Structure 1
Amino acid sequence: MRRPLVRALARPLVLAAAAAVIPLASAAPATADSVIVGGFPVDVSDSPWTVALSSRDRFGGTRSGQFCGGVAVGPSTVLTAAHCMGEDVLGAPPDQLDDLKVIAGRTDLRTGEGQEIDVRETWVNPGYDDVTNAGDFAVLTLAEPLPRESVIAMAAAGDRAYEPGTSAMVYGWGDATGGGDYADGLRAARVHVLSDSRCERAYPGGGDSAYLADSMLCAGEVLGGRDACQGDSGGPLVAEGRLIGLVSWGSGCGRPGSPGVYTRVSDALEKLGWDVGAARGAHTAP
């Protein structure tokens, strides 16, 4: 089984991180006005829980060292994709990366606005399967807390936000065209939650990983064109004002019939043993 084009992606222009680069040859063709692939620019104040993961030592300083996204679910707690913490991306275990930071409140990665906060602790889901991409989530504990208004609620199992057809937004600083054009400013794209049956038809296994409804959901457009892409991994998919997914994987970016696949947040909640009814900010990794 060939692994799909996982979206944990270092920028191909950063030679220091060449080992983390995943080829873009199979990415969707660029379009003249596409961003995050088919999206639009947003200010981080509109989604203050969207954060960037950064290591200048590994990925250079042009865009603040950004390599993945994340989402603040508590003042000191950030969810991201497990594959963002892999040694193939970071070059070392995350606890050995001296300058791993979370950047909050920064729309344009070329500026110094917002906060750069040290990561005090990383926890990667031990059940993450890097072949099937199931269980693709990790928890970062921050050395300093974010304001409570920078935290988003999470959708538990049975929440209507997971229903097919629901309008959702995905956020990130990743590839804006599918051709390696990484955004300096935060972008968003409006997509729709798709049915499990449609996702299973799109990814039945074989050439790509199989879609596993218990731990994944997918979102996009039937005709393609709007999607997350390289560098957006770990970033939020939000519907009805709640976090429902983390950017995980897909085949290309914005291709018809190949929607983006996300870690299902309700599955992560269950595995972490977190109570979404409890006060936000009390979450800790197992």
Structure 2
Amino acid sequence: MRPLFVRALTGTLALAATGGVAPLADPVPAAADSVVVGGFPVRVSDTPWVVALASRDRFGGTRAGQFCGGVVIAPTKVMTAAHCLSRTVLGGEVSQVRDLRVIAGRTELTASDGREIAVSGSWVSPAYNPRTNSSDLALLTLADALPESQVIPVAPEGDQAYVPGTAATVFGWGDTEGNGSYATALRAAEVTILADRNCQTAYPGGLSGRYDASTMLCAGDPRGGHDACQGDSGGPLVAHGKLIGLVSWGSGCGKADSPGVYTRVSAVRLP
């Protein structure tokens, strides 16, 4: 699968969203990293484990440099999508992005509350395949610890939260309409966990991408209209109060026949 379908901002997309003049040489379809299509506003005080990944040097200051989402799984550990740390997104190695920050405790990106914490290290799943987005998971180590109250538990393999038909919620600061309308305040959308057979039908391979049930799960709205989108990559999918997925990829935003695909966090071995 081509990286067209991932849901993270690239430097080119970020410039376009903030009025920059860089040409969109290889445009990414809206549906990769949005601000949750069909969603509703939420406060970080109610979901303190949702964080934003930011680099003003790379993505500009209009939205505090936000380009992906993340989720706090330990006081010094933030989980995100592996493709968010790729050279395609960052323009170089993670270590070269000197102003890479995790923004915690901030609902509105243009505000100054919360904390902007430096990243002291990163890890990308060695099983990650950028061509297929399999095992699309990475960890960032924070230079300063967050309180335990900002940590969300990760659902283990076999947890009821993964059962098809379960109601779940996805969070992000991405595209809210699928047309480049990027949010500055955190939003969420309610979706339903879908059976693997439905996801395999939606993504059998080829240009649409291939769904791999061993490391992915998908969720959406059978009627369409609720989904993650461009700019939401790495953000959390939560069910039963536990983290079950990370926004990874999809085809379009909010399409009934093209649900969002998420990294199945229980399937990726952590260091």
Q: TM-score range by the shorter chain?
A: over 0.9
Per the alignment, residue 278 of structure 1 pairs with none
Percent sequence identity over matched residues? Answer: 60
Query: Is there any run of 5+ residues in structure 1 with no aligned partner, and where?
Result: 29-33, 273-285
Q: 1:263 aligns to what SS in structure 2?
A: strand
TM-superposed CA distance for 1:51, in Å, is 0.2
Report the residue type matching 1:169 in the other structure: T
- Per-residue deviation, residues 122-177 of structure 1 (Å, max 9, x unmatched): 11112211111101000000000001100000001100000000000000000010
Per the alignment, residue 281 of structure 1 pairs with none
Change (3 A) 1:4 1:195: farther
Per the alignment, residue 89 of structure 1 pairs with 89
Q: Distance in 1 between matches of 2:256 and 2:95?
A: 39
TM-superposed CA distance for 1:195, in Å, is 0.4
Please give the residue correspondences for 1:110-125 in structure 2 after superposition, counting only pairs within 5 Å.
Answer: 110-125=110-125
Per the alignment, residue 59 of structure 2 pairs with 59
Indicate the larger mover: 211-220 or 34-43.
Answer: 34-43
The alignment's C-alpha RMSD in Å is 1.9
Change (3 A) 1:75 1:92: same
Per the alignment, residue 208 of structure 2 pairs with 208
Q: 1:231 aligns to what SS in structure 2?
A: coil
TM-superposed CA distance for 1:23, in Å, is 2.2
- Within the alignment, does 1:176 sit opposite 2:195 as a pair? no
Report if the CA contact (8 A) 1:79-1:137 is conserved.
yes
TM-score between the two structures when normalised by the length of structure 1: 0.88
Q: Distance in 1 between matches of 2:165 and 2:95?
A: 40
Per the alignment, residue 262 of structure 2 pairs with 262
> What is the aligned length?
265
Change (3 A) 1:21 1:113: farther
Q: Distance in 1 between matches of 2:256 and 2:247?
A: 18
Superposition misfits of 4+ residues, deviation over 3 angstroms: 1-4, 14-22
Report if the CA contact (8 A) 2:79-2:234 is conserved.
yes
TM-superposed CA distance for 1:13, in Å, is 2.6
Query: Is there any run of 5+ residues in structure 2 with no aligned partner, and where?
Result: none
TM-superposed CA distance for 1:14, in Å, is 4.3
Per the alignment, residue 23 of structure 1 pairs with 27
Q: 1:88 aligns to what SS in structure 2?
A: helix
TM-score between the two structures when normalised by the length of structure 2: 0.93
Per the alignment, residue 247 of structure 1 pairs with 247
